[in-house]
Amino acid sequence: MEKLRIAVQKSGRLSEDSLKLLKECGIGVPNGNNQLKINAENFDAEILFLRDDDIPEYVQDGVADIGFVGENVAIEKNKVTEIIERLGYGKCRLSIALPKSKKRKKIKDLDGIKIATSYPFILSKWLKQNKIKAEIHEISGSVEIAPRIGLADAICDLVSSGSTLFSNELYEFETILKSEAVLISGKNLSKKRKELLDKLLFRIRSVRKAKYNKYVLLNAPNESIDKICAYLPGINSPTIVPLAQKGWSSIHSVIGENDFWNVIEKLKTAGAQGILILPIEKIIE
């Protein structure tokens, strides 16, 4: 029986978050005692644990059907794969950083400098797009030390909090790529594996949509229902249930995380009482 072969980074934060997402999708990944391949539980899939840099090539070559990987890695490796879903975690940015002693005001000031990076493909493409002639020095490991030892004038590296730059007396000059975890796929999945992938994507989207929404229940006098419902579009429309107390109803709906506090304030002003907010585990549409 064919199984969907899923590549996951074998260690690190991206690995933890990817396995957590699979679990939230009802897919069990047993502890494999450092095994490189494990059969998933409750889903026809195999989990392959790989180095993140190897995942795009394994997916391109058909060893894995899909892979959880950072967008920066997927782009840098430039393999024949397709980003089929953005996952919303593992967010970071690829930026050019300069020594604090070398202040530059505009991008064109990068002309003629030497930049150390582990991302030569992405950096080269960005320099070309911006018509900047700079020398790229490819390096692996501790890129941020390059300016201090005279290896380069600047670096291009991943930035999250910025603390590493600060400790090495660097400042973030320009962001050239915003990255997050993505799901990539190969081009030649069989019919069965494509069906399994569609099922997995359905689960992932249901879980992710739930994370960005809250379920709201409230009581309101009937004369306020129209005004309150104007603030509660929900998935289709709010649910209204008459209460035992005459002239009152209970209203149920869904609020997006980004609009949450603004909507709640409007609901209270419109006459809502006893507002109850609940997390949503999954949203099935």
Domain membership of residue 285 (yes or no) is no
Write out the residue range of the structural domain in which residue 170 sits: 92-179
**Residue 1 corresponds to which tokens in the numbers above?**
């029986």
Q: What share of the chain is helix, strand, coil (3-state, %, to 5)?
A: 35, 35, 35
Residues 192 and 84 both lie in one domain: yes
Residue ranges in the chain modelled with pLDDT below 70 = 32-33, 233-236
**Count of CA atoms in the C-beta half-sphere (13 A) of 68:** 27
- Reference 99, options 111, 86, 116; nearest CA is 116
Total length of the chain: 285
Residues 27 and 164 both lie in one domain: no
pLDDT at residue number 24 = 94
Domain count, the chain: 3
Domain membership of residue 284 (yes or no) is no
Residues 189 and 56 both lie in one domain: yes
Give the pLDDT confidence of 150-172 residue by residue, as tens digits: 899 999 999 887 788 888 899 99
pLDDT at residue number 234 = 58
Instruction: Report the alpha-carbon distance of residue 52 to residue 73 in Å, rounded.
Output: 7
pLDDT at residue number 32 = 62
Query: What is the C-alpha end-to-end distance of the chain, expressed in Å?
Result: 29
Residues 36 and 98 both lie in one domain: no
pLDDT at residue number 235 = 63
One-letter amino acid at 57 equals E
